[in-house]
Chain A
Amino acid sequence: MDLLSQIFVEPFALMVEMPDLLVQTLWEGFVSGVLYALIALGFVLIFKASGVFNFAQGIMVVFAALTLVGFYAMGVPAIGALVLAVAVMFALAWTVERVVLRPLVNQPDIILFMATFGLTYFLIGFGELVFGGEPKQMITDELMLPTGASDFEFGGGYVRIQHLDIAAAVIASIMIATLGVFFSKTRIGRALRAVADSHKAALSVGISLNQIWVIVWFAAGIVALVTGIMWGARSDVSFALQIIALKALPVLILGGFTSIPGAIVGGLIIGIGEKLGEFYWGPIIGGGIESWFAYVIALIFLLFRPQGLFGEKIIERV
C-alpha cells in the first residue's frame, strides 16, 4: 500500500504542494530536451542521407568543441576560432566522404555502421593526441553567451532560470528550424530526401551522392559544434561529453530515425519525462534512474507505435 501511495499519490501531492519545483523541473527538462533534440538531429540527418546510424556523432560533439577551444587557446579571437572550427568540421565531412564513405558505396548498411565505429575511435585518439585528455573550459563569455540567472517568485517559492539555458533553448530552436526549412524547402533538401528514399534512383536523376554526403556530414558537424558549445558551457568540454550523445538513442527510438520533427518532439518528451521521473519517482528506488528511465519512456511509446512517433512504417514481404 505504501508503495502504491509513493507511486500514485505522493508525487502528485508534491506537485501541488510545491508548484515552483514542478515548474523548475519542467523548465530543466525542456532545456535538456532541446539539447537532446539537437544531438538527435545530427543522427537523423546522416541516417536520412545514407541509412547509417552515425556512432561517431557523440565524439564529433567533443571534437568540434575542443577545436573551438583549442584555436582560442592558440590566440585566435573567439569569432575567428568559431569560423575555423566550422572550417575544420567541413574538412572532416569532406575527409569522411572521401576516405570512409566513398570506398564503401553499395556495401551493406552494417559495414557503414561499423565504419562509424572506426571513425569514433580515430577521432577519440586524434583528439586526445592534439588537445590532450584534460577537460577544457568553454569560452562562454568570449562567445558573448549570457551567464547568471534570474529568479522568479512562483507558488510560494521561486523558479531560477539560467540565462545560458535560455540562450541554449533559443539557439537550438533556431538551429532546428533553419535545418528543417533547409532540408524541406531547398533544392539540396529535396535532393537529400531523394537520396534517403533510394540511392540508385537519386543517382539516376543526376543527384551527386558524394556531394549530398559531404553536405549532410557538414550539417551534422555544425549541429555537433553548437551542441558542444552549449553542453560545454553548462559543464566543461571533456571526453565525457560524448557519453551524453547516447541520450539521443531513446530520442531516436521515440521519434523515429528519419524524422526531424520526431527528433524535436522525442527530445522534449525524453528531456521532460526523465527529469519528472527522476525528481518525483526516482527517490522510491534510491534515485539515479535518469540514465535508464529515458529508455523506459521510449519503450512504452514503442508498445503502441513500433515505428516511433514520426518514423516511417516499413512493411516488407517475407
Chain B
Amino acid sequence: MSLRHLTIAAIAGAIVSTTALVAPASAQTQEGIYVPLLTYRTGAFAGSGIPIADGMHDYLTMLNERDGGIGGVPIVIEECETGYDTKRGVECYESVRAKNPVVVNPYSTGITLQLIPRAAVDRIPVLSMAYGLSASADGETFPWVFNPPVTYWDGASVFVKHIAEREGGFESLAGKTVGLLHLDAPYGREPIPVLEALAEEHGFELKLYPVAAQDMQNQGSVWLNIRRDRPDYIYLQGWGAMNPTAVREAIRTGFPIENMIGVWWAGGDEDARAGGADAAGYKALSFNGAGTDFPFIQDVITHVHDKGLSQFPRERIGDMLYNRGMYNSMLIAEAIRTAQEITGKSVVTGEDVRRGLENLNVTEERLAEMGMTGFAAPLDVTCENHSGNHDVFVAEWDGEKWTVGQDWTEPMTERVRPLILQAAQDYAAANPGWPARTETCDN
C-alpha cells in the first residue's frame, strides 16, 4: 500500500471513528432534557469565558452524577463554541435549534440581541442571566426572554447607591464626576441610559470612556483621558482581557483603586489578581458567593472533579466566575424542575421551561435544600418581571480573594423599572409587527 493510500485510509478511519463518537450523543438527545450551552473557551474573551463555561457544565454534570438528572431525567449537555462572536453564536443557535433545546444560554449580549426576535418564533426561551437587553425584563413585551436575577440597569443603580453611601448621601453626588469605562460593544453600552438618568437626577457628571475590542490590551489613551478628567469614581463594564488591563492601568496611573467598581462581569479572580497586591480594595458587584464553603460545591468536587469529569483546575474551584457559571446552571435546573412540577411531565419542552422560568421561585428554604445558603439571595420571577430586580452586593478584593465588602443592596427599582418598561415599548415600536403577548400566565 502506498503512502497516499495509507493517508487516505487514516483520514477515512478518523472520520468513521469520530462519527461513531458523535452518534451516541445525538441519540441521547432523544432520551434526556437537551440543554445546549453557548460558550467560549477560545479567542480574545476566553479568560472570562472558560471559568463560566466550566461552572455551567460542572453543575449540570453534578446533577446528572448525583441525582441522575432532574426529576429522574438526565440532562444532555452540549457545548457550542462561539468565541464571543455574534455571527458564530447565531450559527451555534442554528445548529442546536433542531435538537429541541429546552432553553438557550447565549452568554453574550450581542448574541442575545440576535436571538430575542427568534425566541417566540422558535418557541425556545432565552435565558440571559444578568446580561443581555435590560428592557427584556418586561415579560409583557418579551415573554420568551429572561434575565434574572438583575439587569445591567439595576447594577448601575446599585453602583450609584454605593458611591452615594460612601459620599454621605445622594445630595453629596452633586458636582462629582463619574466615569463609565466600558467595552465599546452592546454589552458595554447597556448601562448608559440609567447612568445618564441618574446623573441628571443627582447632579453628577457622567464621562464615557469606550474601549474598542481591538484596544482591550492597549488602554493607554483612555487612561490619559481619565487622568485629564479626574473622575471621582469609575464604573467598569468590561469583559475578557479588558478587565485585568483596566485594573493594571488604574494602578499604573495612580487612580485610587478603591474608587473603581466593576459590574459583576468585571469581578473575576484573574481580573483583580492581575493588579497584584496593589489591587487590594478593587470592588465589583456580585450576586453569588466566592469560595468553596458551600455544601453544593462539595458535591461538585465529589461527583465531578473527583471523577475526572471537569476541565477546570482543581485549585481554582471557588473562583467568582466559576461559581457564577454554576449559579447560571442552578437557574436552568430550577426552571426545568418548576416546569416538571407545573406540567406533570418529566421530559419537558422549551414551551414548558418558559413557564418554568416564569414561575421561578427560589426561596431561602429551597436554597438551603440545594446547599446554597449564603451563596445566593432568594429569587423570584413573575410574568410581568422577568428579571426580578434582585439585590446584589459589592464584593471587595483583599489582594488574594474576593470578600463580601458590603451588605446586599436593593437596586433603585422604582427608578429603573419605569425606564425598563419604556425601553421595552420603544423596542416593540421600533420593530413593526412585534407580537403582543398571547402566552397565558400561571402566577
A residues adjacent to B (C-beta < 8 A): 14, 18, 21, 24-25, 28, 31-32, 124, 128, 132-135, 137, 149, 160, 162, 231, 234-236, 238-241, 243-244, 246-247, 274-275, 278-279, 282-283, 286-288, 290-291
Contacts and interface: CB of A to CB of B under 8 A. Distances in A.
Contacts of B41: 128, 133
Contact of A288 (B45, B50, B210, B245): B210
B44 interface: yes
Contact of B215 (A234, A236, A238, A290): A290
A311 B415 CA distance: 59
B241 A291 contact: no
Contact of A18 (B43, B49, B228): B228
Contacts of A162: 252
Nearest to B223: A28
Among all A-B residue pairs, the 4 with the closest Cβ atoms:
A133-B46, A240-B44, A288-B210, A278-B221
24 contacts: A21-B224, A124-B42, A128-B42, A133-B49, A134-B46, A134-B50, A134-B270, A135-B46, A135-B241, A137-B274, A231-B217, A236-B274, A240-B43, A240-B44, A240-B217, A241-B217, A243-B216, A244-B217, A278-B224, A279-B228, A282-B225, A290-B218, A290-B221, A291-B215
A21 B208 CA distance: 19
B227 A24 contact: yes
B46, B224, B244 interface centre (most CB from chain A within 10 Å)? B224
Contacts of B215: 244, 290-291
Contacts of B43: 133, 239-240
B214 interface: yes
Given A235-B248, A244-B217, A291-B214, A279 B46 contact: no
Interface residues of B, number: 38
Given A28-B221, A246-B214, A236 B244 contact: yes
A128 to B, nearest CB: 5
Contacts of A278: 221-222, 224-225
Contacts of A135: 46-47, 241, 244, 270
A25 B253 CA distance: 13
A82 B248 CA distance: 24
Nearest to B270: A135
Interface string B231-261: 0000000001100110010001110000000
Contacts of A244: 214-215, 217-218
Contacts of B248: 234-235
B46 A24 contact: no
B184 interface: yes
B225 A279 contact: yes
A238 B42 contact: no
Given A128-B42, A278-B221, A287-B209, A240 B270 contact: no
A181 B227 CA distance: 40
A133 B213 CA distance: 17
B47 A283 contact: no
Contacts of B222: 278, 287
Contacts of A18: 228
B200 to A, nearest CB: 18
A123 B319 CA distance: 29
B44 A238 contact: yes
Contacts of B47: 133-135, 236, 238
B241 A238 contact: yes
B50 A243 contact: no
B50 A133 contact: yes
A291 B216 CA distance: 11
Contact of A32 (B220, B252, B254, B270): B220
A275 B215 CA distance: 12
Given A239-B44, A241-B217, A286 B227 contact: no
Nearest to B219: A235
B212 interface: yes
A203 to B, nearest CB: 29
Nearest to B51: A134
Contacts of A246: 214
Contacts of B209: 287
Contacts of A32: 218, 220
B44 A279 contact: no
A275 B225 CA distance: 10
Contacts of B212: 288, 290-291
B276 to A, nearest CB: 9
B285 interface: no
Contacts of B102: none
A132 B41 CA distance: 8
Given A21-B227, A133-B42, A239-B46, A286 B217 contact: no
A258 B227 CA distance: 38
Contacts of B45: 240
A18 B270 CA distance: 36
Contacts of A291: 212, 214-215
B266 interface: no
A160 B224 contact: no
Given A236-B274, A239-B42, A275 B224 contact: yes
Nearest to A149: B252
A62 B228 CA distance: 32
B256 to A, nearest CB: 15
B421 interface: no
Contacts of B317: none
A154 to B, nearest CB: 14
Nearest to B229: A283
B211 interface: yes
A288 B244 contact: no
A243 B224 contact: no
A240 B244 contact: no
Nearest to B216: A240
A290 B213 CA distance: 11
B217 A274 contact: no
A279 B224 contact: yes
B45 to A, nearest CB: 8
Nearest to A287: B210
Given A149-B252, A238-B241, A278-B224, 18 more contacts: A31-B220, A133-B43, A134-B46, A235-B218, A235-B274, A236-B217, A238-B217, A239-B42, A240-B44, A241-B217, A243-B214, A244-B214, A244-B217, A275-B220, A279-B225, A287-B209, A287-B210, A288-B212
Contacts of A279: 221, 224-225, 228
Interface string B3-38: 000000000000000000000000000000000000
Nearest to A124: B42
